[in-house]
Structure 1
Amino acid sequence: IQDFHKHHGVTKNVTESAALALRTGCDLNCGNTYLYVLAALEEGLIDAADIRRACIRVLRTRIRLGLFDPEPHFAACTYDTIASPAHKAVSLSCAEKSMVLLKNDGILPLDPSKLHAIAVIGPNADSRAALEGNYCGTADRYVTFLEGIQDAFSGRVHYAQGCHLYKDRTSNLAMADDRYAEALAAAEASDVVILCLGLDATLEGEEGDTGNEFSSGDKADLRLPPPQRKLLEKLHAVGKPVILVLAAGSALNPEISCNAVLQVWYPGQCGGQALAHILFGKVSPSGKLPVTFYETAEQLPDFTDYSMQNRTYRYARNNVLYPFGYGLTYGKIVCTELSYENGCARMTVTNQGIRFTEDVVQLYIKDNSPWAVPNHSLCGFARIGLEPGETRRLEIPVPDSAFESVDEQGVRAVTGTAFTLYAGTCQPDPLSEKLSGTMCVQVCIQK
């Protein structure tokens, strides 16, 4: 909230920032700005009713959490539930479901019986930091990407760090470009390269809560750091198949084409195990992009421009590398026979592939209101798992708010009269359908 007056320029001082946030519904402040709430009250910027409303809502939440019960639920959690097998199973499942397959020329899933040696290369290959992200606790055991592949593959695994995450050498005493030769040797001795690149929380974070000479807490652009770009270029020239594994909490554009690309985010303590399950086909990838991956930062609006023009999937006109909602699987889930009635979309979903596949069916809506977003809006989704050839009828509720638009004065209301509802495993735009190889089904709705 202190950004209101320190950086955004929407208020003049800390008391105005506290008052603005409290009046507009922020009941609890993570920071120290609300130390000035009483000062804002004395200055007449808020009244006692604003404070009372926020206090009631905060305390109501605490009551619902059971924090005032004679025997609070959370107090009953014993220490031996920490890192229990059941909780680790949830961690593994979350990692498997979140990884997004962005590209696959058919190389995945790998058949271990046809491979003699695998090269696992990159600064994130054996990195715990690439598993954790930030705002994290400490796990009792981590499985890095290298370790997950070593555990799952019985043949030779050649490992090379390849380069530093962002510096031109891996230690202060080393020569520049000190690990490229090792990486090239590992690649040449292997049938396939699994290249683990990307970022970690030392390169991207919340505002300025991280810092280094490379980016001071934020990315300079959408490209990989220079030493990683150089490593990718050198390995690409070797001629072996390259599977690119990107660990990052945000969009990246590797620029150089690889046989397959997996966005694994910061997948947690079981990240290496989850990656191996996907690489070797034990699990079909089913994650979808929760943000748009742009081609270049240069084509994005200025950072100080607060308009939505060409930002996010609802307003983007160009510059899209991988669309919001996009993600490949090893199967083929198809939606047909879409209908809408009484606030619910119904469709037939079929697995036309040859293996069990999970996928995320998505609903998008577009209307003819003058205030409608330029593209379309996500209005519902559901994860579904189907056996080969299985067909199921799926229902997804559509909230009333999906039919509303917001005018220039910020008033939200239903102003459109005709709506188009789309269902599929991606957005209903040409790029999404081209990349995914699937088409969305649609139905018209009159209001």
Structure 2
Amino acid sequence: MHKVLSVVATVAILLSPVAALAQQSAPPSASAIYLDPTASAEARATDLVSRMTLAEKATQIQHGAPAIPRLGVPGYNWWSEGLHGVARAGEATVFPQAIGMAATWDTDLIHQVANVIGVEFRAKNLEDRAPDGSTRQYRGLTVWSPNVNIFRDPRWGRGQETWGEDPFLTSRFGVAFIEGLQGDDPLHPQAIAAVKHFAVHSGPEAGRHRDDIHPSPRDVTETYLPAFHAAVTEAHAQALMCAYNAIDGAPACANTDYLQRRLRDDWKFDGHVVSDCAAIADFYLPTSHATVPTPEEAVALALKSGTDLICDFMANGTFKPENTVKAVEQGLLPESVLDAAVHRLFVARMRLGTLDPVGTGPWAAITATDYDTPAHRDLALQTARESLVLLKNDGLLPLKAAPRRIAVIGPNANTVEALVGNYNGTPSHPVTVLDGLKARYPDAEISFVEGTGWVAPPLEDIPDLAFCQDAACAAPGLKAEEFAGPDLAGAPVASRTDLNAKFAWGSPVRQERETSIRWTGFLKVAEPGQYRFRYTGANGYRVFVDDVLVADVWDAAWPTSDTAIDLTADRPHAIRVEAIQKGSRASQKLQWSRPGSGAEPAMRSAADADLIVFVGGLTSKFEGEEMVVQAPGFAGGDRTSLDLPAPQQQLLERLHATGKPVILVLANGSAMSVNWADAHLPAIIEAWYPGGQGGQAVAELIAGDFSPSGRLPVTFYKSADDLPPFTDYGMDGRTYRRFQGAPLYPFGHGLSYTRFDYSPLTFDRRDVAAGEGAKVSVEVTNSGSRDGAEVVQLYASRPGPDAPVRSLVGFQRVELKAGETRRLDFDLSALAMSVVDAQGRRSVPAGPLTLWIGGGQPVPSAGGDTPSGSEGRLMIRGSADIPAF
């Protein structure tokens, strides 16, 4: 979504003239159909909409829909986020980021995860409901997840939110997630999934409000739409979010070809469509699409094109219900079109039970405390274990014996940021990699030195003696002002002097307290030169030095990088630190990087160690949504380079030069070109953003407590230079399906601590008439000495100019004990045998179909690892056209 502004939409709307007019009608009788929980959602919505005034209906198509007291309708905020757990609503179970969940290749597990996320949304909703039943932002039951956009290019900062680069894998995970989240009763869903962002959307972030994408018909059919089709027609997602960009000249949220012809007419979608946030404002803003000249015309265009709900911000005119009223009064928008949109929205609310008494309905057993439970954290741990991908292993792992001394080094070794990714909740018991190693090796001497920041020198705590209250430094400390809410608003509720910009909680873990603090004073430095600042809290913060904003992460969902500032030692410098505090996390403090600080402490630690674990990569401070990142290799939340940032790379090479064994653990949301590490280091682990319990999973993998089974859902390229331009949405030269070069690590790659062998393929038939299906089988044997899980992958290849190199058409994750053999069957559909031509038509041509079943593609990684597997061939007689999906 666009940057979150601090708005109280409900209050603003209720105080508006439109809302005032809405209160003039008489209240309904107690026998009104919409008040009857036993009536159908459609009948209830029809009855309710018939009783509403134009002004009232206009307020209900905003994401912050206010209460209608005369009708007994509570307020409802439609905006909730749940990519990998309940996000932005305080403490919740934080699962691995979506790209990490995709690396499990375990749809049954992700179905369980999504079900738990749905339970936690119900719990948060109960915990937060106002006496009249109204619900705040991020506590609703309409979840704007999953993101099934195709991660077509690893430079996209939001790719971490997706299920990877393959349309088939994305489809299977999208279906599993939606079905788990919504539950198995479409008339009474546990929560509603809004699958996003429809359609043809995957960066660059900087131009998304004005870009007009012209995808080829082949790419639309083959790549960009299959996962959306599966989400709607198989999983029956009850909501969909349209994207910012335009497609073939029309903004996605006003594109009737996609929203009407494809979605509603062809796919029979009967849910509601919500705009991405501020996407409707893009219709008329001159710096964006500028499709129409006024907000009224923008609202009218959106609703007539098929968008039902407008997510927006107070700063943009489309947020105002008055514009919708004017659009109707000016003849721009038929009221019947508005009625249809409001009807669809209230069908959703009736199905969710938001107008019904608390404690009724099929989900009544869920309580307000059913979130962040030990059982849910255990599931997050299991998901983290399965998400880890062993990229390289020269035999160092698993460790043969417990090391006596371990040096843990790197910017992601001991930070919660590296666990949670973006669109995240707050883990109450986070386990960093450092924490995990200490717990797993309690008798080892474990040292931790950051050694380097992500893209700059490392940070350290600022000593108390550096602060003073005035420019003369006559008194130590800082003035601290604490505010009741998260926005520094109103008069301080407490004022005091603190020796440092630190904050510690003493409240119970479950307490959901929110406050904000401002520290002001002066800072003395002993060394002149460049300094950087960071506040270690899990929530938003800002740091000003001499009135210059040097660190801005005020909205925790909208991080930006810090800025270096030159300081002198001849005078104190004014400093102001502002921070949001939520929950009960401790150890929140101000840090800096000083001139000359660098790798030497890390090198001293490494010199005394038997093993070095370097935990590097990225965080969502550097890759994410429409950000400002001031560092080489990054642009607008996207990346211009796939390399490990230079400061990390330089330290890693120095650590390797010590001759000590170095394990590289990567925490990141996208592919990285770790070519040097692959050539020189004995072991590399891809941890993604592994969730609240991720550090424990990493430590267990290193120790060999389980055999790794994660597989890459994206290709790791050797360089961004191997790819077409980022702005080019054509799929030629992209992803494993159409990339002609040699990857660093191919899609589907992942090593194990055991070995799996494959029998020759068997078929129920060798000749298949075009349009018919077939069955292929294989026996898989764990021929190693320990138990493990294999991800068995089925790929199909067809000759011809339109066909990809190969396509994933099936997969199964199977647990096998040492020495165990199991037969696996795959149903091969006509769709799996098909190709898509340049006009977007799908057909099954005559000729050979080559199949590969194995633990990955039949492609070696840069290190020479080639998965075991088995190849076979079918012959297809005749040809046949088949449906596109």
What TM-score do the two structures reach when normalised by structure 1? 0.89
Kindly indicate whether residue 439 of structure 2 is the aligned counterpart of residue 439 of structure 1: no
Cα distance, 1:241–1:44 mapped onto 2, change above 3 Å: closer
Cα distance, 1:41–1:432 mapped onto 2, change above 3 Å: same
Kindly indicate whether residue 612 of structure 2 is the aligned counterpart of residue 408 of structure 1: no
Contact 2:212–2:249, Cα closer than 8 Å, also in 1: no
1:7-56 deviation line (CA, Å, top 9, x unaligned): 236565759844454234394433243583633677999x9999999999
Corresponding position of 1:38 = 300
Distance in 2, Cα, partners of 1:372 & 1:81? 49
Task: Determine what percentage of the aligned residue pairs are the same residue.
Answer: 37
Distance in 2, Cα, partners of 1:417 & 1:62? 52
Contact 1:426–1:433, Cα closer than 8 Å, also in 2: no
Corresponding position of 2:259 = 22
Contact 1:5–1:17, Cα closer than 8 Å, also in 2: no
Cα distance, 1:379–1:57 mapped onto 2, change above 3 Å: farther
1:259-293 deviation line (CA, Å, top 9, x unaligned): 10000000001101000110000011100000000
1:2-401 superposed matches below 5 A: 6-8=210-212, 10=247, 17-23=254-260, 24-25=262-263, 27-33=273-279, 36=298, 38-39=300-301, 71-74=360-363, 76-113=365-402, 115-153=403-441, 154-170=443-459, 172=531, 174-176=593-595, 178-206=597-625, 208=626, 210-214=627-631, 215=634, 216-256=636-676, 257-341=680-764, 343-373=774-804, 375-401=805-831
Greater alpha carbon shift after TM alignment, 331-340 vs 239-248 = 331-340
Contact 2:418–2:667, Cα closer than 8 Å, also in 1: yes
Distance in 1, Cα, partners of 2:354 & 2:844? 40
Cα distance, 1:81–1:178 mapped onto 2, change above 3 Å: same
Contact 2:858–2:867, Cα closer than 8 Å, also in 1: no
Corresponding position of 2:172 = none
Residue 58 of structure 1 deviates from its aligned partner by: 7.9
Number of corresponding residues: 442
Q: Which amino acid aligns with 1:388?
A: A
Contact 1:364–1:377, Cα closer than 8 Å, also in 2: yes
Residue 437 of structure 1 deviates from its aligned partner by: 4.1
Distance in 1, Cα, partners of 2:339 & 2:833? 34
Contact 2:457–2:593, Cα closer than 8 Å, also in 1: no
Distance in 2, Cα, partners of 1:366 & 1:440? 15
Distance in 2, Cα, partners of 1:88 & 1:193? 28
Structure 1: unaligned runs, 5 residues or longer: none
Q: Which amino acid aligns with 2:778?
A: M
Structure 2: unaligned runs, 5 residues or longer: 1-197, 202-206, 214-246, 265-272, 282-297, 308-332, 461-530, 532-591, 765-772, 877-885
Cα distance, 1:286–1:58 mapped onto 2, change above 3 Å: farther
1:131-153 deviation line (CA, Å, top 9, x unaligned): 00001111211000000000000
Contact 2:758–2:854, Cα closer than 8 Å, also in 1: yes
1:208-230 deviation line (CA, Å, top 9, x unaligned): 1x323123412230111121111
Residue 304 of structure 1 deviates from its aligned partner by: 2.2
Distance in 2, Cα, partners of 1:51 & 1:425? 52
1:407-446 deviation line (CA, Å, top 9, x unaligned): 11111222243211110001023x2597434332022122
Contact 2:780–2:824, Cα closer than 8 Å, also in 1: yes
Q: Which amino acid aligns with 1:313?
A: Y
1:411-426 superposed matches below 5 A: 411-426=841-856
Residue 109 of structure 1 deviates from its aligned partner by: 0.3
Contact 2:390–2:686, Cα closer than 8 Å, also in 1: yes
What TM-score do the two structures reach when normalised by structure 2? 0.46
Contact 1:291–1:325, Cα closer than 8 Å, also in 2: yes
Contact 2:390–2:684, Cα closer than 8 Å, also in 1: yes
Contact 2:744–2:861, Cα closer than 8 Å, also in 1: no
Contact 1:62–1:68, Cα closer than 8 Å, also in 2: yes
Q: Which amino acid aligns with 1:167?
A: A
Residue 85 of structure 1 deviates from its aligned partner by: 1.9
Q: Which amino acid aligns with 2:828?
A: V
Contact 2:674–2:718, Cα closer than 8 Å, also in 1: no
Residue 395 of structure 1 deviates from its aligned partner by: 1.9
Cα distance, 1:287–1:175 mapped onto 2, change above 3 Å: same
Cα distance, 1:242–1:41 mapped onto 2, change above 3 Å: closer
Greater alpha carbon shift after TM alignment, 19-28 vs 307-316 = 19-28
Distance in 1, Cα, partners of 2:252 & 2:392? 50
1:296-317 deviation line (CA, Å, top 9, x unaligned): 1122111122222221001111
Residue 161 of structure 1 deviates from its aligned partner by: 0.4
Larger radius of gyration: 2
Corresponding position of 2:326 = none
Contact 1:158–1:186, Cα closer than 8 Å, also in 2: yes
Distance in 2, Cα, partners of 1:419 & 1:314? 16
Q: Which amino acid aligns with 1:39?
A: L
